[in-house]
């Protein structure tokens, strides 16, 4: 498939993905685990396809509220969700990343486009 487009719930910030647990080290936070489950169900519900090989990732995040947020902190959970859902092989294959803020809402529009050149 050359491109996949889907809408995901607004992810937690990278700052809130993991917590330190004595004797276990860093583990997924409860909030991140819940978001991963919800994002996975959304990808399945939308019947998102799969992009093989190198890809470009375009993310438009809609601010869910008026708090100050760092746009860059949203990429990691989104890329991890795309890998877990089988939409991409691995996030190290991302060749281009474009992110921007959209209008108010609580979702993130994601587009994955193959950058593999035709043989």
Residue 60 is assigned to a structural domain of this protein: yes
Mean pLDDT of 92-106: 91
Q: How far apart are CA 119 and CA 105, in angstroms?
A: 41
Among residues of the chain, what percentage have pLDDT more than 90? 72
Mind listing the pLDDT tens digit for each residue in 12-63?
A: 988 889 998 899 899 999 999 999 999 999 999 999 899 999 999 999 999 8
Band of pLDDT at residue 118, cut at 50, 70 and 90: very low
Structural domain harbouring 105: 3-114
Alpha helices in 4-74 (DSSP H): 30-45
Q: Which residues contact 76 (CB under 8 A, 6 or more apart)?
A: 14, 17
**Total number of domains constituting the chain:** 1
Q: Which of 102, 115, 97 is nearest to 51 (CA)?
A: 115
Residue 119 is assigned to a structural domain of this protein: no
Q: Which residues contact 70 (CB under 8 A, 6 or more apart)?
A: 13
């Amino acid at each position: 498939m050359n491109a996949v487009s889907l809408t995901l719930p607004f992810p937690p910030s990278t700052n809130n993905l993991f917590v330190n647990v004595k004797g276990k080290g860093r583990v997924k936070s409860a909030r991140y685990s819940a978001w991963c489950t919800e994002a996975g169900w959304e990808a399945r519900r939308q019947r998102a396809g799969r992009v093989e090989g190198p890809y470009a990732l375009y993310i438009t995040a809609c601010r869910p509220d008026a708090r100050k947020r760092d746009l860059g902190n949203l990429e990691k959970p989104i890329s991890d969700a795309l890998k877990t859902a089988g939409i991409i092989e691995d996030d190290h294959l991302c060749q281009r990343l474009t992110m921007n803020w959209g209008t108010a809402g609580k979702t993130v529009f994601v587009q994955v486009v193959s950058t593999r050149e035709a043989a």
